[in-house]
Amino acid sequence: MKTIKTTILIGSFMMLLSSCDVVDNTDSKAFSKPIPEALMTSAQRRYSDFLTTMDPNLNNFRKYAQQSTNVAYYDEDNYDQDKRKIGNSIEQSLYKDVLIDLKNSKSLIEEVKAISPSEIAIKKNKIAIIEIQTINVYQTLVDIFGNIPYNDALDYTNKPTPKFDDAKTIYLDLASRLDLAINNLDVTKTSFGNADLIYKGNVGSWKKLANCIKLKMGLHLSDVDNAKAKSMIESAYASVLISSNSENALFKYYNTENERNPIYNSIALETQYCPTSYFVEELKSKSDPRMDEYFDSNSKIGGKYIGAPYALGSTYNSVSHLSLKLADQSFPGVLFDYSETCFLLADAANRGYNVGETSEALYNKGITASMQYWGVNQTNINTYLARTDVKFATATGSNNKERIAYQLYIAYYNRGFEAWTEYRRLDFPILVAPKDAVAESKGKVPVRNIYSHLQKTLNGTNYQAASTAIGGDLMTTKLFWDKN
């Protein structure tokens, strides 16, 4: 379990990060120059770890989505974002551990002299792939905090106290950068090869992922800038998207101590995390065949899956457990998958955007893709799709938006950040805050994470300006795209 380093707590956050800011490109007998491919690989791993881990110091999004709960410790289940200084950990993880490595990798690649047309194309591919990942991380930061350091970020030598930029303005700039990166990809050439632990350097796959990110960003803008959303979504659809589970953006972990999926520690080595009674009962109510994939079939109680009451605590062996699949050290981290693409397109179709198919067809494809990914056989998939409470016209939810949101929520199992994000955006399913939730939550599920204490104490003027601009540094303050 990573904790905030003592050096950060007692020293300057900005000085700490500046130590990793700009790579020293001068020759040195004492130190060898960093390898850009290794920096990119490290950034991929750190970002996947951030999204995948169950570490309560860093990632409590599964809890906010009420898909899992800690049966031994309840502070984070009750939305205490302050005790563990979670904002500090998120900033360190995404700015220092991910974005700095991406920045330095890009700087080193830009120094490489490319002469032939093929060398030039490969260099452009590498830079574009780094840019796509950088955009994705900044989008994640915005979706967690709202306004964030952006234009002044990562320049800790010259701008040690960065100002915060407007979240929507950042989104629009990221969209422009994403278009440029997509246009710079040459699918006939290679890139990072095996140093890329997501797509093995396959440029065509990166183009599909980039368009999926564009699709998601467009939908996030749909309630605040419909014209821009329509343009982004229809452009992404007209290009190429992830169109099968074989194209999923998965980060590869290995069966070794330093390269294994971080969930392994939480499930195989600890006895604290269990599925919530809410999530279990939702799946049971529809005889969802994913139950045997999502939960440990050896942990049934009286022949049935029993979830743990959220944030109330339970004896570990009195409730069912998370799937042992998740405890496999090599179980991949998921950045984007086909079922997600289908459900986002279903949402887009429901909003009237031109994405080639009906909401119903895409909804059914999303359910099917999710079940196939988890290993459900086609007979059970067909039986599930035929249920009255699953068929699109009569499914759970009072309208098409809610029906899509509900099945997307179920498909986002083990992807807590995305489940929480789309819950905030689509306002469904209805989640109820626990009775002992911290007073700061005002009896509601958090819709953002509060800023880090380091920003408050070391960058106070800019922190205060950002807090005022968003309507208060509160877990109840909605992000710019969270309108309906």
Contacts of 185 (CB under 8 A, 6+ apart): 124, 125, 128, 129, 203, 206, 207, 210
pTM of the model: 0.93
Closest CA to 69 of 54, 51, 58: 54
Per-residue pLDDT at 157: 92
Per-residue pLDDT at 271: 87
- Residue 422, domain CATH: 1.25.40.390
Closest CA to 384 of 245, 300, 285, 246: 285
H or E segment to which residue 69 belongs? strand 68-70
Q: Is residue 271 part of a domain?
A: no
Q: Residues 354-405: pLDDT tens digits?
A: 999 999 999 999 999 999 999 999 999 999 999 999 999 999 999 999 999 9
- Number of separate domains in the chain: 1
In angstroms, rounded to a whole number, what is the distance separating the alpha carbons of residues 66 and 190?
Answer: 41
Q: Is residue 339 part of a domain?
A: yes
Per-residue pLDDT at 238: 99
Q: Is residue 13 part of a domain?
A: no
3-class DSSP assignment, residue 106: helix
Q: Is residue 428 part of a domain?
A: yes
Per-residue pLDDT at 32: 60
Phi and psi angles of residue 70, each rounded to the nearest 5 degrees, phi first? -95, 120
Per-residue pLDDT at 336: 99
Give the count of beta carbons closer than 10 Å to the beta carbon of residue 369: 24
- Polymer length of the chain: 484
Domain that holds residue 127: 36-251+331-470
Largest Cα span, the chain? 71
Q: Is residue 29 part of a domain?
A: no
Q: Is residue 53 part of a domain?
A: yes
Helix/strand number for the chain, H first, E second: 20, 6
Q: What is the mean pLDDT of each run of 10 residues along the chain (484 residues)?
A: 37 40 38 83 98 96 98 94 96 98 98 95 98 99 99 95 99 99 98 98 99 99 98 99 99 94 88 96 99 98 97 93 94 98 99 99 99 99 99 98 99 98 99 98 98 97 99 99 91
Q: Is residue 178 part of a domain?
A: yes
Per-residue pLDDT at 270: 84
Burial category of 478 from C-beta neighbours within 10 Å (exposed 0-12, middle 13-18, buried 19 and up) = middle
Give the count of beta carbons closer than 10 Å to the beta carbon of residue 172: 16
In angstroms, rounded to a whole number, what is the distance separating the alpha carbons of residues 446 and 309?
Answer: 18
Q: Is residue 314 part of a domain?
A: no
Contacts of 381 (CB under 8 A, 6+ apart): 289, 367, 368, 371, 372
